[in-house]
Structure 1
Amino acid sequence: MEDMSYWKEVWERKGNGNTNSLEELDGYEDTTADVKEIARQIVEQMDIKETDKILEVACGAGGLAQYIKCGEYVGVDYSSSLVKRHIELLNNSVLHGEANDLIFKDKTFDKVICFGAFHYFPNHEYSKQAIAELKRVAKEAIFIGDLPVTSHRKEHLLYDKKDFGEWEVIDGYYNPSRFNVYLKL
């Protein structure tokens, strides 16, 4: 998949739907994912404090955000309808934007999270650009989660643990064919 038009259409449709379920809006309705538990594990892994300034890239409607207690939360998503729903449902600061072209200044956020989005990227070059952007805007740590090694969908971009040499590799939180990576800066 060399562009994201297929996935953009999926996420815009979800955001424009009738549900207020954050799990459904963020695409977890047909999975075994426990979003509250995933958020707890990310908070623990990253040692997120109530004084931290957090950026969540690909934040969707706020499924994880609802469980992250921090000093300042900012979200970014490429789906304008999910950005709108996130603001309506959680009243967070959320902006429309791309993971590979963040509008923030260098070292703006203490910690940066991107969970459940990398398999929707169009190609590995976009992923590399996104990682460079996450590193640029983070001061202390970065967490990228839910990276698939295999998938039931041909549209999903797949990853190899060995491509994250400097990162700590962590088993997937709910799916054994996925993994997470963590980088302390």
Structure 2
Amino acid sequence: MDNKWREIWNRRKPVTGGLTGDWEHIYLELKRLNGYDVMGEGIPLNDFLNFHAGLVELLDLTPGKSVYEVGCGAGANLFLMQREGMIVGGSDYAEGLVETARAVIPNAREMGAIEAAEIPTDEKYDAVYSCGVFSYFPNHDYARRVLERMLEKSTHAIGITELHDRTKRQDYLAFRRANIPNYDERYEGLGRLFHRRDFFEDFAREHNLSISFPPLEMANYWNTPFIFNCFMYRE
């Protein structure tokens, strides 16, 4: 995947004391490391928790079930899921973020610095998901390879959130240019992959999966108007 994005993510390190204290403090620091600090005044804890509750429900997760995250970053989602009694595993291509994830989730079944299209599939999980990562992929062929791996690794549910909507590409770019000075110069060479729903519908049809595009929204998140979510389930 894009080396420029990898460099950016590998520069993100915890602030002093960011990984100590109560779980809420740690969770918010992990979310910051995962990129939820780039615009505005940040997202309140309750908004994150409401989104998380919806994600867990859509993945059919309950205590004792297993879940793997592709592109887990610093491990914010898995940190919370493990607290709730799930068996967790994950990976990310940014070694620095994986180091943080290992520190806060020492009991993860798997945790590695791996390209999304190369995740190992020997270990199976009830659900496999990815949050906000598919937009960083270089192309749709790569995205399809990741979906194939996710399907092979899961026994029931696949979830992909924060997919940038191809039909809203121009609105997204106009918003970013209006809110980030010198946007085109600052983001030159940093690609953003936009998706259509029929790409995922075709994949679901080919693999005999049920599919839905639920309105799993995060309040006060600037990106919400430009994204959609996709969940698939084995029949």
Q: TM-score, normalised by structure 1?
A: 0.89
Q: For the aligned residues, what is the CA RMSD?
A: 1.9
| 1:30-69 map, 5 Å | 30=38, 33=43, 34-68=47-81, 69=84
Match for 1:72 among 83, 87, 92?
87
Whether contact under 8 Å (1:54, 1:109) holds in the other structure is: yes
What CA deviation, in whole Å up to 9, does each residue of 1:115-174 have, x standing for no partner?
110011111111010001001110011001100113346721101122221321123513
Task: Give the letter aligned to residue 136 of structure 2.
Answer: Y
The 2-side partners of 1:7 and 1:28 are apart by 15
Mapped pair 1:171 → 2:215? yes
Mapped pair 1:90 → 2:105? yes
The 2-side partners of 1:168 and 1:25 are apart by 29
**Higher Rg of the two aligned structures:** 2
Q: CA deviation at 1:67?
A: 2.1
Query: Partner of 2:230: helix, strand, or coil?
Result: strand
Identity of aligned residues (%): 26
Task: Give the letter aligned to residue 140 of structure 1.
Answer: H
The 2-side partners of 1:38 and 1:4 are apart by 28
The 2-side partners of 1:115 and 1:92 are apart by 21
Structure with the higher fraction of residues in strand conformation:
1
Task: Give the letter aligned to residue 232 of structure 2.
Answer: L
Structure with the higher fraction of residues in helix conformation:
2
Q: Which consecutive residues of structure 2, in runs of 5 or more, have no partner in the other structure?
A: 19-28, 177-189, 205-210, 219-223
Greater mean deviation of Cα atoms: 166-175 or 22-31: 166-175
Mapped pair 1:158 → 2:194? yes
| 1:98-109 map, 5 Å | 98-105=115-122, 108-109=124-125
Task: Give the letter aligned to residue 231 of structure 2.
Answer: Y
Match of 1:18 in 2: 15
The 2-side partners of 1:36 and 1:26 are apart by 15
Change (3 A) 1:139 1:38: same
Q: CA deviation at 1:176?
A: 2.1
The 2-side partners of 1:92 and 1:37 are apart by 25
The 1-side partners of 2:70 and 2:149 are apart by 10
